[in-house]
Amino acid sequence: MRIGPYQLENNLMVAPMAGITDRPFRQLCRRLGAGLAVSEMLSSNPKVWKTDKSMNRMDHSGESGIRSVQIAGADPELMAQAAQFNVSNGAQIIDINMGCPAKKVNKKLAGSALLQYPELVEEIVQAVVNAVDVPVTLKIRTGWDPENRNGIEIARIAERNGIASLAVHGRTRACMYKGNAEYATIKAIKAAVGIPVVANGDIDSPQKAKQVLDYTGADAIMIGRAAQGRPWIFREIDHYLRTGETLAAPELSEVRSILMEHLVNLHQFYGMPMGVRIARKHVSWYLQAHDQDGQFRRVFNALDDANAQVETLEHYFETLAAN
């Protein structure tokens, strides 16, 4: 798939997820088969750009691949300024968030709340596209609620105002993450516009990825929650789409290697104590299949020292390998 001048290595993308798709996670997913990893959502409010959270989210130092940065807000002028600021900071693609369903985002009229106001959507898209010389992409949901699915209308606004590609999470804002993704709506949106469309929602296996691509006609797929604790899902999907064969699950030794790499990178990226805290959720996701009663995760979550986390995990994997 191509986005402006950029040809992606494949048609697999990492969905931007607040508090998750930081630089360590993006780099890991890229190494394990993702063609593009979009950054965490950044506020268009310049007052927060110098906070530790925003500075971490803007950190792309040494990052491989195409740097795509997602911005969120409701004011066209501020969104344009945020786009310019991030391009000056190394962003090669600007992604506009109109898909986040979180209350704290929507109460500011940002994220998926914007889908209620197509005229404002158009103003924001125009402002951002005109403000920068890099491709601008857009992430949406199918609408505000099941009675107001206006994804096709928003897609057409995006296309006529220069959006380079459109990612669609197959749920309305009201649906949050409940129920099943609406692939029929994504299919209808794809049929209505000529720009590349990316399908997102409930894609958790190579077989499901192919099914969604075949049914919707989408140009690419975007994976979010299914990659938590399983970043090798991109490698598995890529192999299946290319060969039709199912790739063997990673050996325990490789899971250990990937997790330990991720853990150390989180410690280095965030420092202490934040690195230790953020590592807990990732380790929990990785170990769900191995620590089914949650006993080890409870022990791990009580640790507040980086070295203790590393040593405890090493011992845990040694025990698993011996059994």
- Which of the residues are catalytic? 100
Place of tokens 């499901």: 208
- Residue 201 among known ligand-binding residues: yes
Structure tokens that stand for 188 in this block:
């209808």
* 224 labelled binding-site residue: yes
Residue 305, token pair as written in the block: 């020292």
Q: Which two tokens mark 89?
A: 């900071």
18 labelled binding-site residue: yes
- Around Cβ 64, how many Cβ atoms within 10 Å? 11
70 carries a ligand binding annotation = yes
At 254, list the tokens. 């490789």
Contact present, 21 and 206 (Cβ < 8 Å): no
State yes or no: 17 annotated in a binding site.
Answer: yes
Q: DSSP letter at 182?
A: -
271 contacts: CB under 8 Å, gap ≥ 6:
none
Structure tokens, 103: 């209350």
Q: Is 204 annotated as a binding residue?
A: no
Distance between CA 281 and CA 262 in Å, rounded? 12
Token pair listed for 127: 């402002």
Known binding-site residues equal 16-18, 70, 139, 200-202, 224-225
Known binding-site residues for FMN equal 16-18, 70, 139, 200-202, 224-225
